[in-house]
C-alpha cells in the first residue's frame, strides 16, 4: 500500500471523529446560545451520590403528565418523543399546559421522551427531558442540598426546537 494513501485515510478518520464530537457539543450548547430562559419548580431529590460525586438528580412538576392529554397514551412507546406545552404562572414559574406527539407550531414547549406509565392504570406518563442531572462543585453541594429541601427553581434554556439545557438552580423566592 501507498504510505500517502494510509496517511490520508488516517487523517480523514481523525477529522471525522473530531467532527462527530463537535456536532455533539454544538447540539448540547445550542439551547444555551439561542434558548429562552424558563424557570421550572423542582421537586426534592437527594443530591448526593457516592458514585457520581456532587451530583443532583432533579425532578420537575412536568416530569409526570396526565396520560389523557395524549390521543393514544396506552400506545406510547418507551422513549418516544413528546412535546409538552408550557404556560407561565403568576409567580414566573412555568408549568404544564398540554402535551402532544406532534411538534406545536407556536407557543413555548419543551421536547421530552416518554417513560413507561407511572401509575399501573396508565393515568400518568413519565417524561424525561435531559435536564434531570446537575453537577455541583464540592463546596456548593451542601448548599444545593438545603436549597432543594426548601424548594428550588431550575433555570432552563429552551431552544425553538424544544430542546432544553439546564442553566442553573436557584432558591425558590416563594418559600
Assess contact for 171 and 154: CB atoms under 8 A. Answer: no
Q: State residue 43's pLDDT score.
A: 67
Query: 126-140 pLDDT, tens per residue?
Result: 899 988 887 777 667
The span from the CA of 108 to the CA of 115, in Å, is 22
- Nearest alpha-carbon partner for 164 in 4, 8, 37, 14: 37
Check: pTM over 0.75? Answer yes or no: no
Q: State residue 128's pLDDT score.
A: 93
The span from the CA of 152 to the CA of 129, in Å, is 18
* E strands in 1-93: 36-43, 55-57, 59-60, 64-66, 81-88
Q: State residue 83's pLDDT score.
A: 94
Query: 73-112 pLDDT, tens per residue?
Result: 557 788 889 999 999 988 888 999 999 889 999 899 999 9
Does residue 15 surpass a pLDDT of 80? Answer: yes
Does residue 31 surpass a pLDDT of 90? Answer: no
Q: State residue 142's pLDDT score.
A: 66
Query: 43-83 pLDDT, tens per residue?
Result: 655 555 566 666 677 888 899 888 887 766 557 788 889 99
Q: φ, ψ for residue 15 (rounded to 5)?
A: -65, -40
CA dihedral 118, 121, 123, 129 (to 10 degrees): 20
Q: State residue 156's pLDDT score.
A: 92
Amino acid at each position: 500500500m501507498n504510505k500517502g494513501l494510509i496517511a490520508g485515510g488516517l487523517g480523514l478518520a481523525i477529522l471525522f471523529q473530531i467532527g462527530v464530537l463537535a456536532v455533539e457539543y454544538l447540539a448540547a450548547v445550542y439551547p444555551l446560545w439561542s434558548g429562552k430562559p424558563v424557570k421550572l419548580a423542582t421537586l426534592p431529590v437527594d443530591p448526593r451520590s457516592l458514585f457520581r460525586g456532587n451530583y443532583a438528580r432533579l425532578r420537575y412538576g412536568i416530569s409526570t403528565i396526565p396520560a389523557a392529554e395524549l390521543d393514544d397514551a396506552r400506545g406510547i412507546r418507551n422513549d418516544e418523543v413528546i412535546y409538552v406545552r408550557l404556560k407561565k404562572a403568576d409567580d414566573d414559574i412555568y408549568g404544564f399546559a398540554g402535551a402532544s406527539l406532534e411538534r406545536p407550531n407556536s407557543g413555548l414547549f419543551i421536547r421530552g421522551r416518554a417513560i413507561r406509565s407511572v401509575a399501573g392504570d396508565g393515568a400518568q406518563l413519565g417524561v424525561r427531558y435531559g435536564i434531570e442531572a446537575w453537577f455541583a462543585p464540592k463546596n456548593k453541594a451542601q448548599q444545593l442540598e438545603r436549597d432543594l429541601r426548601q424548594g428550588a427553581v431550575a433555570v432552563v434554556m429552551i431552544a425553538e426546537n424544544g430542546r432544553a439545557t439546564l442553566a442553573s438552580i436557584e432558591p425558590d423566592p416563594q418559600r
